[in-house]
Amino acid sequence: MNGSHPNGSPNLDSLDINQRTYLRNIRWRDFQAIARMRGEGSVPRLAYLDGVLELMSPSTGHEWNKTLIARLIEAWADYYEVDLGGIGSLTVGEKRKESAVEPDECYVLGTEPRDVPDFAIEVHRTETGLDKLEIYRRLGVREVWVWKHGKLSVYQRKRGGYALRRGSGLLPELDLDLLSKYVWPADQRRAVREYRSALARRRRH
């Protein structure tokens, strides 16, 4: 298939869009109370910056893409025996920085879980009203990978902000253009299988 999704697959852009609600003048303890009321569930997904709280209910297409991207990254790490730990939509936050976020997916390098991921994945299907990169900067996340318009872009943390890069500085051998070709709108198992086959062909050559 060379990364082309099967004919007849549904168009995820035609599925429901993310629903976002914003609450303003929210104190940190209010944010914590709302997070406790939600409990261990993943909906709504929360983000907080300087007194503004975003509650996002992700669409089917959003969740499909973020899950498949995670499966492909983990397939790559497994194939090349890279120690990569997934910590899902972990709530990352700090009171004194007035910032908190729940990434679509996030990872640490190595074998031990940590409170702050090394990189996070954000799937953009609708625009957000919060500056997510500013949240990640304050919390010390080293890279943010943004899926938008059919490709992954990497924002690498530098002094004062993030810089857009062609690839990941944390995983420089991961070809994000190749991976992006396998983010299909249908048949996740087949996408992962064919991606692993592509990795094997590349290794042989």
DSSP letter string, 185-205:
SS-HHHHHHHHHHHHHHHHH-
Per-residue pLDDT at 19 exceeds 80 = yes
The residue ranking higher by pLDDT, 3 or 95, is: 95
User: How confident is the model at residue 81, as a pLDDT?
Assistant: 97
- pLDDT tens, residue by residue, 29-82: 999 999 999 987 778 999 999 999 999 999 999 999 999 999 999 999 999 999
Per-residue pLDDT at 11 exceeds 60 = no
Percent of the chain residues past pLDDT 70, beyond the cut: 90
* pLDDT, mean of residues 175-187: 95
Per-residue pLDDT at 1 exceeds 50 = no
Report pTM: 0.88
- pLDDT tens, residue by residue, 124-164: 866 678 999 999 999 999 999 999 989 999 999 998 899 99
Q: d(Cα 30, Cα 115) in Å, to the nearest integer?
A: 21
Q: d(Cα 110, Cα 22) in Å, to the nearest integer?
A: 36
98 torsion bin: left (phi>0), alpha (psi -120 to 50), beta (else): left
Alpha-helical segments (H) within 55-129: 60-79
| Top-level class of domain 59-204 | alpha beta
Q: Tell me which residue has tokens 């908190």.
A: 100
* pLDDT, mean of residues 102-106: 96
SS3 at position 16: coil
Domain ranges of the chain: 59-204
The residue ranking higher by pLDDT, 159 or 193, is: 193
**CB 87 within 8 Å of CB 108:** yes
At residue 20, φ and ψ (nearest 5 deg) are -125, 140
User: How confident is the model at residue 5, as a pLDDT?
Assistant: 47
Q: Which two tokens stand for residue 10?
A: 């549904």
* pLDDT, mean of residues 16-34: 89
Alpha-helical segments (H) within the chain: 28-38, 60-79, 132-139, 176-180, 188-204
Q: Which two tokens stand for residue 137?
A: 């900067």
Per-residue pLDDT at 16 exceeds 60 = no
Per-residue pLDDT at 17 exceeds 70 = no
